[in-house]
Structure 1
Amino acid sequence: MKKIRLASALLSLALVLLSFSASAFIVQDKDGTWLDCKWITNSAGESRLQCEPLDSQPPDPNP
């Protein structure tokens, strides 16, 4: 059980690290919902992550 939690935490960390190098990306939350996420920067230079549910499941990267 701890290995699963550790793997989940490492995956979350990897997604955060990837998000800094990509302006837009697709992730799946713990409930199985696919989210289209992107970094938004306001006029003051503050950045925040904005995610919206996808209308459909993304294509399988390994068909």
Structure 2
Amino acid sequence: MTDDNTHAKQDYENAILFIKSQREHKRLLERYNPTFDLTAQDRIKATARRVGLDMPVTYKPE
């Protein structure tokens, strides 16, 4: 193999490894951080519930 082909093959292998690693990272985040895909407000409510509290009802002037 030429030097260019060797570098191209290594780049290809690195790209495949990077994509697999990203997929695994996302899977682990979803598994161990269940509030990962929630909005900020929903994340606060879920955290409060986890320690046995409820969020107070917020006042909304109408």
Range into which the TM-score falls when normalised by the shorter chain = 0.3 to 0.5
Larger radius of gyration: 2
Structure with greater proportional strand content? 1
Under a length normalisation based on structure 2, what TM-score does the superposition of the two structures give? 0.38
Which structure has more relative contact order (CA 8 Å, sep 6+)? It is 1
Structure with greater proportional helix content? 2
Under a length normalisation based on structure 1, what TM-score does the superposition of the two structures give? 0.37
